[in-house]
Structures are given as structure tokens and as C-alpha cells.
Amino acid sequence: MKNPTIFLVFAAFVLAASFQPASAEGGNLLIKNGTILTVTQGIIAKGDILILNGIIRQIGENINPPAGVKVIEASGKFVLPGIIDSHTHIALAGTNEGSEAITPEADVGAVINADDTAILTALSGGVTMAHTMHGSANPIGGPNVVLKMKWGKPSEDLVVTEALRTLKFALGENVKQSSRTILPGGPPPRYPQTRMGVNAIMRREFLRAQNYMAAWDRYNKLKASKIPPKILLPPRRDLRLEVLADLLRGKMVARCHDYQATEALEFIGLAKEFGFKIAAFEHAWEAYKIADELAGEKIGISVFADSWAYKMEAAEGIAYDAGYCAKKGVLVSINSDSGERIRRLFNDASKTMKYGGLSENEALSLITINPAIQLGVDRIVGSLEVGKQADIAIFNEHPMSAYARCDMTIIDGDAYFDRAALLREREEAAKKAEVAKKGGRP
Amino acid sequence: MPKSARPLIMLTILALGALAWTSPADVGPTYAIRNAKIVPVAGPVVEKGILIIRDGLIESVGPSDKIAIPEDAEVIEAAGMAAYPGLISAHTHLLLEEPAAPAGGAQQVPSITLPGAAQPNTPAGTPDVLAFGLLKPKKSTLDSFLRAGFTTVLVAPNRGIIQGQSVVVDLNGEDPEPMVVKNPAALHINFTTNRGGYPSSLMGTIAYIRQSFLDAEGYALAQAVYAKNLKGMKRPVFNPFLEALRPYVRDKKPVVFQCNNVEDIKRALKIVDEFKLNAMLSHVNEAWRDASVLKKTPIPLLVTLDFRPPSGSLFVNQGEDLRKKAEAEIYPANPSNLAKEGIAFALTTFGLNDGSTALKNIQSAIKAGLSPEQALRALTIQPAQYLGLAAQLGSLEPGKIANVILAKGEIFDEKTQIDKVFVDGILWKF
């Protein structure tokens, strides 16, 4: 920023868009006297959490603040793990490489947009982490990325490198419809236009990936042999096939957009045939029909709470999908798939208490520890435990209450959203603007 | 024939050959600019000096009492005026007339398009397109930039992702050939998408660029191995797309990435690092937001004087007041913010279609904190160095190309007017 004056004027205009976290305390905080919902280790009715260097160091009662550590008074409030959205598309410059059906080279991690105000929206709903994904226009989309909602930080600081590498797949209508020419003069029709075509093109690509791996194995073997051939050129390096090869080698896991039970079972068949792992089906409106199969294969689902039947292939969705599958032992998460609903994930999760009979803690798990397990980050986040990263939300009420509201969102021990501070700032800016209007100097 | 006569004949033939290049008609005029304040950029300012131009080059320059005015010189009285080297804009799309249909040449990297995939309406990559072949200079454009003091511009092709190769020209007329200073100058890449074809998204574009360089590396390797095994090896299939990229991966000729926002800079740096390219980053009007990264790299920056914020910027999607502020104050401070961080850069007129806007924007950058000296260097010696033309351009020194401007006052003052412009040693007639 050029000079302090400009910064002040600027701050007055962009209340929401402060460049720094609401309170950067270098990752040191003591949260006192809150009701602590650890998710994995029960509830502490009135307790403290000590955070040093962004890590939870102590959870208990009557913890004294070390010198220089800021104290956040949370009496009467609920302290929970930062909410994790297992499926969204925020903070990206572009969602689909829709020109072709098979695009595993198109990596959303390459097009992160840390300026997206949806990050702020997410923070206002207690969300600290999101799995931001390639769209569902293609049978094989591209690699996804897991981000922390560190508003104001450079994009590379948002990336969660500890997370599983995931690859987006999609089945059904989105893929089929994306292959049609809708407007005259639009792109020519694309293969595949049927569900059987979707399965077939995936098989074709996996076979190509197997050939690719074999070609490289042959080359490496020859190169390492005692008397390598005089003329030996490496095979073409193909970014598209390299990603698929990584999936087949187990270095990545599949996340597959799916509505109908039948196509999910077919995809599970492909995974078995080619030996790759499916971490979760996305949306999975008919998962309740195949809950036993999913639980048996240890495949999770990431679903909406109750907004089914918005298109024909979602017609057999039911509000009990998430709750029923969770009771059947399927690893379930509730997702937003949106830059707006992302701030109301706690409302959506709570619906599983009515539809499916989950307990408060089970419902809260659907947006904390469960998505953390799906993303392979449960070692570092997803619950309030000593040693985990201090991604924490503070609510006025129990988050599964209809009256719940997020008051503060903390990532790595720094507050990135502070409702009270923002409201104060907004009032002050309004006053300044009023003075300026009357011709005075702010 | 006596033995001793032979060298003489050889000499005569050589002399005749040389004459073909410098026939009397090609000899440019001689000028003596006197009583001017001379700002050579490469050395100290001469308060009252003489600058001699002969046949397109600067013959001598120095204080009035040290330089003799040649008898054959046309004397230009320049009391009250200041002489500067002509300004250089190291990235433009000026002077191009492109065919309605995109230029021919290679289409995409062939093997990246699968059967059944959408066929692109326009090629995403045309590395074999030369901007030189598309030059169509117009007097009005030349006048507009010469009036602002620009005598040299880099012209790059402006279509597609891998756009083609640029040319550096002196603005000395409407005939392309005598204008050329360097061709090709660089390969140009833009982080854009291909409407109606692959790649239609930015992530696809990044993959496309990487795959193209990977294929170029593979192609260069195959050609190199073939060169050593001409007997006994089947020749690699010729590919004009990859052939055009080969000098940029093999010989490390310069590659310019057009970085339209803060994230594009990081995207470019990753690709540069992956393929060890000899790169320059252009546009970069959000470079100040990446200062901590850019400080650590020696990669040249070609910073645009176009201060319009990129679409989707944090500063444009939160209300009209902030957008105006961004355009008037925040973005014009980009050059001065870089200067404060000790980051070197050249300024360009990229995105601007007339010289007066460029001049006005230089003044905005100075108002935002850039010193006039820094601005001058960033438009003369710095771009000359980045383009590999420091021996010929960028300062007023004997032997350099006589691109000289005479201004009535300090060059970037709002009231100053450019009085005379010499391009390749010839006084431009507006």
C-alpha cells in the first residue's frame, strides 16, 4: 500500500476485504471458558484451549495464559473444530475444461484465485477448509485441491499439502449433456452421449494409461540394463496419462460425481478392474440403495442434506440419504457445492438429526472429522485434539441449533473472521463516510 | 596475370560488394544538435552540449566546448531543449494487421486432441507465426507514439495462447524491412483460453503450455540424437509446431509470458522453473502483490503502463468507488512499489493504443512515487538490456543508433512537448 492515508480510505471502502487476518497473533491464542465440542473426545462443558504456533497445545480447565498470548473469552459460547467442506468450487479461475471428455491434465490447483470473496463467505460460516474441485462436465475431469480459507494470504499459503491427491470423475447427465451441442454454432457434439459411453471411454483411458506405464517401465529397464541400446529415446511424456497412471499407482484417489446407484456400482467395477481407490461418491442421491456395498468397499459419500429432485436423475433422492448411510457405516460428509451455501453447512448437517435420527455429535461429524478423513487430513484437523492444527470455529449456540451463528473463525491459531470486530469496523467506516460527506476531514 | 594483382582484384570485388550495402543513396544525413541539455542515461547529464548524428548513428556527444561541429552537418539549434534517447516499449501489439482468419501454420500439438474431441475454431498455438510477417505500419500510429517520444517498439503477435514470435522495430517509416532491429525477438505466451476448442479453461491452458514444452523437449532430444546417428537411425517426423519451439527450449531464446494478474505471475514462474526457460514476464500490473517472490528472481519484468485493473480483481468486484480508486491510485503505484522493493523492471505501453495515454500514464506513475529518472531508465536502457540490444539502443553514446528526442523541458513534465524526433538518424516529419 502506497501510504497509510490511502490504506485508511481503502479500508473504509472495503470493509469485508481486509488484507490481513482479522487478528494475526502469530498463531498464539488462549480460548477461555467455552463449551468445547471436540467431536472425537467428548464435550467439555466449560474449558480452555491453548494454541501455540498454530497448534493446539492444551485442552482443559483453568489454563493460565503464557506471557504475550492473547485471550479470547468464550463463556456461553460453543467452540468446535473448523468446518470442512468436502466438495465445492470456490477460489478458482475456471471450473471445467469442458472442450474434451477426458482432461486429467487440467489441474484446478494451477488456477487458484485467492481473491475470491467466497473465501470470506465461507469464513463467516465457520468453514476453515474446503475441497475445491474440477467440475462435472467430463467423465474424467482433473485433479482437485484442498485449501484453507486464509483470506488475504497469497494463494500458495492456502494449499493443504498434507491432503490426499484427488481426481475428479463424473457420471450421468452432466457428462452426457455437456457432450451435446445446445446452441447452433456451438462446439460440435462430443463423445460420449450415453451412460454406457461414459463407462466405455473411462475403460479406454485406463487401458491407455496401463500401456503408458508399461512403455515407461520398458524404457527405464532398458536404460538401466548393463548394455543399453545405442539409440534409446524415452516415450513421450503425456500429462494426461501421467495423472491417470498416478491414480493406478495408488498415488491419487478418485472422487466421483454420481447420482444413480447403478452407475455407481459400474464405477466400483472399474475401480476393481484397474485397481484404484474411490475415496467418495459426490451427491450420491441413491447411496441409500447401495449402503451395504459402499460400507463394504470403504467408499464414502459427500452429499447435500435435503435438496433433491432438482432434476430427473435426482428424483429418487431422499432426505434420509445421509443419516441412513451414516448409520449403515458409510463415511458421510455434507457438502455445499456452492460459494453461498458454504456458510450454512452447519444448518444442513443438523437436518440429519430430524431425517435419519443422528445425534448432535454425529451430525457435527458430517462437516468436521468425516470430511477430514475423506480428504486424508484427519491427522491434522477435523477435531479438537492436542497436537492438531488450530482450525477452530466459535459459535453463539450449539452449531446444530437452528439459532446458531458463527462469531469467530480461527485458522492455524489466527482469527480470520471476527464478527464483532467487523461490525465495529463497519460502524466506524459509516461514521467516517458521514463526516466526509459533510465536507469535514475524517 | 601477375601474382601481385590478384589480391587487388579480390579487394575490388569486396569493395563492390560492400557498396551494394552502403550505396551513396543509403547514406543518411548529418545533424549537429547544439546548445541542448543532454541526458544520455548512460552517463552524467551535460548541461550545454552538442550531439552529432551521422548516417543513422550517434557520432559524438559531449559538452559544447569539446565537440566540433562538422562542416557538412545541418545545425539544429536546441537552446532550452533537452536531448534524450528515444523511448523503447518492449511489448506491444501495435502496427499489426492480422488476417481475418487466424494465421496458418501448425495447429495444436497434434497428439493432445483425442478423436471425437471438439475441433478448435482457432488454433491455440501458432509458435511459427512471425509478427514481422504481419506488420502493416500506419502513419497515424507512428505519429502518435513518436510524438510521445517512442522510437522503438517490440511487436508481438496477439492471437492464441502460444502466440508466435515478436520483432523489434524502429518507428522509422511505413516500410517494414528497414524498420527491423531484431527478428525474431522472443516467443510470446498468453494465459488465455481458446474459445470453442481445447483448451477452454485456464487450467487446460496451463496443461497445454506445459505439454507443448514437454513435446518440444522430446522433439529437440530426438533431433539431437538423430544428428549424431544419421546412419542407422530412422529420422524423426518433422513437426513445424515443435520445430518453432525448439530454439526456446534448446537454445534458451527468450520467452515472454503475459501475466494478466497476480496469479498468472506465479503460474508463469512455475512453468519457467519446470522447463528452465529464459523468460520475461510482461503485463504484470499486479506485480507489487508478488513483490516478495519477484525479489528473489532475476527474471526481467516488462511492466505495463496500462493501469486498468484486471477483470475479477479484488479491487473491481467490490463497488464502483474502489474500482475508481484502484485505477487512479492503486495500480499506477505498481512501478513505484516495485522500485521501492529494489526490483528492476522496464515499462511498456502494452495494452495502450496511443502515445498520449502512455505519456499521461507515465506521469501518473511518477505522481504515485516513481522518480522521473527511474521512469526514464525503465523506458530506455533497461528494455534495451532485456531485449539484448544494449549495444545499439537505450542511451546517447557514440556508435549507438541515433534514436534521439528533443523535448522542450523535462521529458515527463506535464507541460513538456516533444519538439523533434530522430529515428535511425533521420528527423521525423509529423
**CATH 3.20.20.140 placement within chain B:** 87-393
Q: Are β-strands A392-395 and B418-423 bridged in parallel, bridged antiparallel, or unpaired?
A: unpaired
Classify domain A83-381 at the CATH superfamily level. Metal-dependent hydrolases (3.20.20.140)
Exposure letters B289-305 (e unless 16+ CB within 10 A, then b): bbeeebeeeebbbbbbb
Of A337, A355, A342, which is closest to residue A326 (Cα–Cα)? A355
How many Å apart are CA B148 and CA A334, to the nearest integer? 60
C-alpha grid cell for residue B237?
Answer: 517426423
Q: For A1-82+383-442, give the CATH class.
A: mainly beta
The secondary structure of residue A75, as a DSSP letter, is: T
Write out the H or E segment, with its range, that includes residue B213.
helix B202-228
What integer pLDDT is reported at residue B195 of this predicted model? 76
Q: What residues in A contact B314, CB-CB < 8 Å?
A: 17, 115
Average confidence (pLDDT) over B398-415 = 96
Tell me what ipTM this predicted complex has: 0.93
How many Å apart are CA B238 and CA B150, to the nearest integer? 41
Residues 166 through 195 of chain B touching chain A, CB cutoff 8 Å: 193-194
What Rg do the C-alpha atoms of chain A give, in angstroms? 24
Is residue B346 within 8 Å of B302, Cβ to Cβ? yes
Q: Which residue has the higher pLDDT, A3 or B305?
A: B305
A13, A103, A134: residue with CB nearest B319: A13
Average confidence (pLDDT) over B244-252 = 96
Q: DSSP of B363-404, one letter per residue?
A: HHHHHTT--HHHHHHHTTHHHHHHTT-TTTSSS--TTSB--E
Q: For B87-393, give the CATH class.
A: alpha beta
How many Å apart are CA B297 and CA A298, to the nearest integer? 47
C-alpha separations of B331 from A172, A388, B313 in Å: 46, 40, 11
* Confidence check: pLDDT of B194 > 90: no
Q: DSSP of A271-305, one letter per residue?
A: HHHHT--EEEEEE-TTGGGGHHHHHHHT-EEEE-S
C-alpha grid cell for residue B83?
Answer: 536531448
B120, B204, B221: residue with CB nearest A233: B221
Could you tell me the pLDDT band of residue B13, with boundaries at 50, 70 and 90? Answer: low
Cβ contacts of residue B212 below 8 Å, gap of 6+?
A: B109, B125, B127, B162, B241, B245
B199, B222, B321: residue with CB nearest A233: B222
Q: Do B116 and A111 touch (CB under 8 A)?
A: no
Q: How large is the greatest C-alpha to C-alpha distance in chain B, in angstroms? A: 90
Among A115, A153, A175, A193, pick the best mutation site for testing chain B contact (most B Cβ within 10 A): A115
pLDDT by position in tens, chain A (length 442): 344 444 333 333 343 344 445 566 689 999 999 999 999 999 999 999 999 999 999 999 999 999 999 999 999 999 999 999 999 999 999 999 999 999 999 999 999 999 999 999 999 999 999 999 999 999 999 999 999 999 999 999 999 999 999 999 999 999 999 888 777 766 678 999 999 999 999 999 999 999 999 999 999 999 999 999 999 999 999 999 999 999 999 999 999 999 999 999 999 999 999 999 999 999 999 999 999 999 999 999 999 998 889 999 999 999 999 999 999 999 999 999 999 999 999 999 999 999 999 999 999 999 999 999 999 999 999 999 999 999 999 999 999 999 999 999 999 999 999 999 999 999 998 998 888 888 765 4
Q: Which residue has the higher pLDDT, B151 or B107?
A: B151
C-alpha grid cell for residue B184?
Answer: 525474431
Q: Do A99 and B221 touch (CB under 8 A)?
A: no
Q: Which residue has the cell 446407484?
A: A261
Signed CA dihedral, B189, B194, B197, B201: sign only: positive
What integer pLDDT is reported at residue A193 of this predicted model? 93
Is residue A75 within 8 Å of A32, Cβ to Cβ? yes
Q: Do A100 and B198 touch (CB under 8 A)?
A: yes
Is residue A102 within 8 Å of B207, Cβ to Cβ? no
The answer to whether the bond into B184 is cis (omega within 30° of 0) is: yes
How many Å apart are CA B166 and CA B65, to the nearest integer? 43
C-alpha separations of A36 from A385, A386, B338 in Å: 11, 13, 47
Q: Do B207 and A107 touch (CB under 8 A)?
A: yes
**Distance in Å from the first CA to the final CA of chain B:** 57
Q: Phi then psi for A407, rounded to 5 degrees?
A: -100, -30
The answer to whether the bond into B199 is cis (omega within 30° of 0) is: yes
Residue A23's CB is within 10 A of a number of other CB atoms, namely 16
Which residues are bridge partners to B83 per DSSP?
Answer: B38, B406
User: Which chain A residue has the Cα nearest residue B114?
Assistant: A100
Residue B192's CB is within 10 A of a number of other CB atoms, namely 16
Is residue B116 within 8 Å of B198, Cβ to Cβ? no
Is residue B414 within 8 Å of B407, Cβ to Cβ? no
What integer pLDDT is reported at residue B265 of this predicted model? 97
Could you tell me the pLDDT band of residue B106, with boundaries at 50, 70 and 90? Answer: very low
Q: What residues in A contact B313, CB-CB < 8 Å?
A: 115
* Confidence check: pLDDT of B300 > 50: yes
Could you tell me the pLDDT band of residue B107, with boundaries at 50, 70 and 90? Answer: very low
- CATH fold for the domain made of B22-86+396-430: Urease, subunit C; domain 1 (2.30.40)
Query: Strand (E) positions, B245-398?
Result: 254-259, 278-283, 301-304, 346-348
Q: What residues in B contact A100, CB-CB < 8 Å?
A: 113-114, 117-118, 198
Of B207, B344, B215, which is closest to residue B270 (Cα–Cα)? B207
What Rg do the C-alpha atoms of chain B give, in angstroms? 24
C-alpha separations of A72 from A23, A130, B358 in Å: 11, 25, 52
Q: Phi then psi for A304, rounded to 5 degrees?
A: -80, 165
Could you tell me the pLDDT band of residue B196, with boundaries at 50, 70 and 90? Answer: confident
**CATH 2.30.40.10 placement within chain A:** 1-82+383-442
**CATH 3.20.20.140 placement within chain A:** 83-381
Q: Do B202 and A94 touch (CB under 8 A)?
A: yes
Q: Is B199 on the interface with A (CB under 8 A)?
A: yes
Q: DSSP of A91-141, one letter per residue?
A: SBS-S--TTSSB-TT--GGGGB-TT-THHHHHHHTTEEEEEE---SSSSEE
Helix orientation angle between B355-367 and B139-147, rounded to the nearest 10 degrees: 20
How many Å apart are CA B262 and CA A93, to the nearest integer? 12
3-state secondary structure of B22: coil
Q: What residues in A contact B193, CB-CB < 8 Å?
A: 94
Q: Phi then psi for B86, rounded to 5 degrees?
A: -60, 145
Q: What residues in A contact B113, CB-CB < 8 Å?
A: 100
C-alpha grid cell for residue A192?
Answer: 460420449
A97, A156, A230: residue with CB nearest B204: A97
Q: How many CA atoms lie within 13 A of B107 on its CB side?
A: 11
Residues 104 through 133 of chain B touching chain A, CB cutoff 8 Å: 111-114, 116-120
Q: Do B204 and A103 touch (CB under 8 A)?
A: yes
Is residue B269 within 8 Å of B299, Cβ to Cβ? yes
